[in-house]
Amino acid sequence: MANTQTRPEHLVAIEFDALFSREHTCSVKYDARGAVFGRDDVMPLWVADMDFAAPAAVTRALEERARHPVYGYTLFPDSLYQAMTDWFSDRHGWQIDRDSVLMAPGVVPSLHAASMAFAEAGEGVIIQPPVYPPFYSAVERTGRSVIENPLVLSHGRYHMDMAHLEECAARKDARVLALCSPHNPVGRVWSENELRQVLAIARRYQLVVISDEIHCDLIYPDKPAHRILATLAGPDDALVTAVAPSKTFNMPGLGLSALIVPDPAHRRRLKDVFDSLHMGQCNPFSIAGFEAGYREGGPWLDELLGYLRDNRDFVGDFLRQRLPEIGMVEPEGTYLLWLNCQSLALTDPDLKRFFVKEAGVGMNPGVTFGGGGHGFMRMNIGCPRSLLNDALERMEHAVIARFR
């Protein structure tokens, strides 16, 4: 069960309101602004890492490991597996068999590996756009074929088109379903009923499901709980679950994740792909951070979720009261907002230019997430509220100057 220990609200605000200069730290989010947006001074609300300090327990673990001055080849200790399995048991009611765990260098490499392991060149992998761009690139760059099962936006909320998913699964070339759960960028936390339907379709057509659940811990306190797909699966379901502490505890740069693969044959196939690319190694700092996050990061996460909820509501209120030209698909999970900017009636290139050049705000264009992304932008709200306020005021001034 979730840790309910809390601190006074003003102490939580002080921690997450703190401003850190990330410039000149080789930060993609900050130091790549010139290359991505053509200017170095945009407010960066794009790439999915947060501007908050990681849990103190993670920093302590890294500092302690750094005090040993030899950084050699490193094993995965039993304590790492124990910390992870305890976390998912306590937080999600998921009992993970230690033997089913395959450590991986990240969720994106795992999407590539699953495409290679379970589909032959030219065979199909089903994805559900608009979706995180590596879902496309993992299929295309490995020579597999993308099969699109677009999500449906209805009354401000996204749903899976189950009838169309069944049509996709029935194709002779379909081999894999890549599920994003919770979904990036639309923020859906799939219901138990939806997930059971996904499993039933995959079972009927003998699909392997790789379920990317990297955002599974980032669920808003006032929204339905996330259900791990594996907790609904039967022993014969072909399922690979990808998890990591990187989004949960804001340490994606440490680059370590885990795959839970109950079927030994599937586990061997994935391991063979990783071994063929010599991707079995990690570094000692990844291990230290991974274990410390899962072992001691619970109270920090509970506080973070409350702050993110307030950030979400702050943006929603601002848009309704001062910037009604832009809509927000209210997320149930993740720290990413899917903004509907279609009423501005700009082409997608012009929409990006408008926010960059006229508002000075850098976000992810919706079209980079594939079908259904036209006229949308993805905003990262994992930052101090003062930065959000600055960005929204910039956007308001730009809209007033151009459209009112």
Q: What are phi and psi of 360, to 5 degrees?
A: 70, 35
Residues ≥6 apart with Cβ < 8 Å to 335:
48, 50, 218, 308, 311, 380, 381, 382
pLDDT at 10: 47
Please check whether the two domains, 9-55+298-403 and 71-296, share a CATH topology: no
Contact 80, 288 (CB under 8 A): no
Catalogue the long-range contacts made by 299-304 (C-beta closer than 8 Å, 24 or more residues apart).
299/3, 299/5, 299/6, 300/55, 300/56, 300/57, 300/249, 301/55, 301/217, 301/248, 301/249, 302/2, 302/3, 302/4, 302/5, 302/6, 303/6, 303/7, 303/12, 303/15, 303/16, 304/16, 304/52
pLDDT at 13: 56
Query: CA torsion sign, 139 to 143 to 146 to 147?
Result: negative
pLDDT at 193: 98
Residues ≥6 apart with Cβ < 8 Å to 36:
46, 362
Count of C-beta atoms within a 10 Å radius of residue 344: 16
Q: Where are the domains of the chain?
A: 9-55+298-403, 71-296
Continuous segment of H or E residues that includes residue 342: none
pLDDT digits (tens, 9 = 90+) for 269-279: 999 999 999 88
pLDDT digits (tens, 9 = 90+) for 51-101: 999 999 999 999 999 999 999 999 999 999 999 999 999 999 999 999 999
pTM of the model: 0.95
Structurally, what CATH architecture does the domain formed by 9-55+298-403 represent? Alpha-Beta Complex (3.90)
**CA angle at residue 315 from 313 to 320, to 5 degrees?**
95
pLDDT at 1: 39
pLDDT digits (tens, 9 = 90+) for 150-169: 999 999 999 999 999 999 99
Helix-helix angle 385-403:298-322, to 10 degrees: 20
pLDDT at 282: 84
> Which fold would CATH assign to domain 71-296?
Aspartate Aminotransferase; domain 2 (3.40.640)
Share of the chain above pLDDT 70, in %: 97
Q: Pick from 366, 6, 380: which is nearest to 215 by CA?
A: 380
pLDDT along the chain (404 residues), means of 10: 45 77 96 96 97 96 98 96 98 98 96 98 98 98 98 96 98 98 98 98 98 98 97 96 98 96 97 91 93 97 97 98 98 98 97 98 98 96 98 98 95
